[in-house]
Chains A and B, each alone.
Chain A
Amino acid sequence: MALLETHGLTARYGDFKALFGIDFAIQTGETVAIIGSNGAGKSTFLRAICGLLAASPQSIRLDGEAIGGASPAEIVRRGVAMAPEGRKLFPSLSVEENLLVGAWSQKARGYWTLESVYELFPMLREKRLSPAPALSGGQQQMATIGRALMSNPRLLLCDEISLGLAPIVIRDLYAALPRIKQGGVSLVIVEQDIAQAMAVADRVYCFQEGRVTLTGPPSELSRDAIHEAYFGH
């Protein structure tokens, strides 16, 4: 059984329909990358999974249980955490407080604690008392991922993980992903950098205008097929 799957997931912003029946699945232990141009519906897809957008109950299943339309709080409790696009750290909280807020729904101690997040991203320990806006973009992304990990999720959704970051910073972030997976977390990564996505993902989904246009393991996808799925005809 898939860890998380969607069947015919649709989503809309008011009158604007943003997703047209997305079929998606991720198995436990997998890393899945979602690629696609701006406006392809990648972020909308993650927002729908997190409960920020309305979805019909059966269209999203976690461990086979229908969770579509559940509240974000319920989804976090069930083990799905999000590192949102644009980092979205809480500006009036310190780095450490941001991490602690991530543990809000956490009743029992799990693998991820302040200590294990600081081990993963040592820079955050040095900056733990700084206000979140004082961090660089890369450090903010680390704090965002750390904050999501603090809920000890089984599935971590990273939206636009490398957007706007320097290559060396992106390298550091991606270097941390295997260690995150060792902690028992499956990953969905939204990434505009196709090469980066292909390098880490077990499977790739390409979105275009709210539809899945291509899916498969990176090794089986040709350049031309990706080009067509990404940019259309």
Chain B
Amino acid sequence: MSTTQLTSTLAAGAAPKARPHRPRWGLIALLGPVTAFLGVFFFMPLAIMAVFSLLEPGLYGGVVWNFYADNFGRILGWANGPIEEFDPVYLGILMRSLRIALITAALCLLVCYPVAFWVSRLPPRRRNFCLFLITLPFFASLIVRLYAWVLILRPSGALNGLLAWLGISDAPVGLIYTEAAVLIGLVYIMAPFMFLPLYASIEKLDRGLIEASYDLGAGRITTFRRVTLPLTLPGIIGGSILVFIPTLGNFIVPSLLGGAQVLMIGNLIEQQFLQARNWPFGAALAMLVMSVVLGLLMLYVRATLRRQATGTPGKEAQA
């Protein structure tokens, strides 16, 4: 929620405006409920997590109200006590999760960009039908759709059957419980989140600008690099953020398609909360993921502000 709000303000390049000094009761009435809701159900749990991450885990679950730095120490390296020890495996899982999220975003981009271009050039009726098709998966449960992938990828599954029938392989290929399987599942689930913002910015792209570029002597590749890409960059960035952040915290796909082989940070956090009953350590891991995401977003904001400061116009194409 907060990240999408952030990106939409960024995308709009909203400048602060001078406001008249009078209470706007209408505005307060409209925003009040949502603020109260988020305050109770978003910020409070977040605050609890932040506090828990610095408390000592109780022996049988729960917390002991002592300041305790070793939750982070186990991950980042300063814990060497008798109970809690630094283990590089946690950072390893975080790095793997970042890598998988990055590759997922890149693959989604690669898959969706040409499709979004194609769809945006269709006649209106077929275009709307395609957009409907893209939102169609949302009508079925995520878990059901992932089990379908299990059926496809497992050794006796559809894909292996196809490979055997085609004579490409005679023994079942190990597809499921690999990083590749996790990537397939993630790309499959996240692609619509890449597609929609991408489509929005590609559809707005004035075809006349591409023609102008050809007309001025630029070939296809130069035109793509210097006109199409910069003008669809807001969609690329928006889609990448929408894919990258949920992917980083995803634990359903790796637990169904990755098994114990491909553990992501989401699985680790889930284990800490539900199986190990070590809430403080789970909270510390969650805080770490959040700070990584916030750090990356800050870098992006700074880059955007710098771009605006150098006077590069970022306005939308006029008709």
Query: Are A and B a genuine interacting pair, yes or no?
Result: no
